Amino acid sequence: MTTIKKKSILVLTGLFISLFSILFTHNAFAGFTVTPLEFNISIEPGESQTNTFWIKNSGNEPFLLKIYLNDFWLDREGQEAFLAPELREYSCADWTALSPIELEIAAGESKPVRFTVDFPTDKSGSFWGIIFVEQVSNPKVDKRGDTTKQSFSVLTYQRVGVRVFINSTLGTKEGLIEDIAFSKDPLGISVYFKNTGTYVFKGEGKINILDDKANTIQTLAINKFRSYPNAARKIFTKLDEENKLPTGKYTAVAIIDYGSENLVAGELEFEI
């Protein structure tokens, strides 16, 4: 690997209960909405900060809601897992307080929720968690029938997640490409990027496909991705299906920009 200087879902007869988590979205189809859905907080060690998000009841009935904090993690394949608080090294649950933790909100009403971060003096880098706003009042009942003339009801509970990223003013932003792999099914290039620093950050980049004469014949975009400290992430990029590569030998050169002074790069020789 090289471093390049930057210029540089069982339907049941009777009752079915579902819990919908609305994450990363703009609250479409929601009985209540939450804004904003993400916080990126910069903080000094030992500093205390309070931030606010708002819940609006967009329906015609009142809601009783509970508010609580969980940890979450993104695995190598980019799949999310939600965990009990304080289970991970980078959890902010131990020093983040919510107010209120239960809320009744009338139809058409908006109310604030505040969370206070008391950042420890002995920590640096990024920490994070997800604040869930979850319905605990009686859910909406949707009565339905099936082809056997039996009826059932679907109860829908709503849950919305607010992601919180807390970034100390002390930390490091570092990363590297650990590996690159070519696959024929699906056809594409996988880049394995590891965050070796202490900050959460976003990266993006490109893959240049070179022929056996070192001419660039395709350039593929590596879409923006989020990278977590001390964790690897697989970023898969499809090869151009409209301009298929003929049989031959090629080199893939992956370049990632993650907001540091340097770009990171790696290359792979492959054959079709």
- Portion of the chain with pLDDT greater than 70, in percent: 82
Q: pLDDT tens digits for 189-248?
A: 999 999 999 999 999 999 999 999 999 999 999 999 999 999 999 999 999 888 889 999
On the question of pLDDT at 12 being above 80, the answer is: no
Mean pLDDT score, 143-161: 65
How high is the pLDDT of residue 45? 96
How high is the pLDDT of residue 7? 35
β-bridge mates for residue 188, sequence order: 183, 238
Amino acid at 34: V
On the question of pLDDT at 4 being above 70, the answer is: no
Instruction: Give the range among 7-11, 62-66, 174-178 with minimum mean pLDDT.
Output: 7-11
How far does Cα 155 stand from its chain's mean position?
Answer: 27
Cα 193 from Cα 78, distance rounded (Å): 12
Cis, bond preceding 120 (omega within 30 deg of 0): no
pLDDT band at residue 152 under the 50/70/90 scheme: low
pLDDT band at residue 59 under the 50/70/90 scheme: confident
How high is the pLDDT of residue 155? 60
- 65 neighbors 57 (Cβ within 8 angstroms): no
- Portion of the chain with pLDDT greater than 90, in percent: 71
**pTM, entire model:** 0.82
> Any residues with CB less than 8 A from the CB of 224 and at least 6 apart, and which?
202, 203, 204
How high is the pLDDT of residue 23? 47
Q: What is the mean pLDDT of the chain?
A: 86
How high is the pLDDT of residue 141? 52
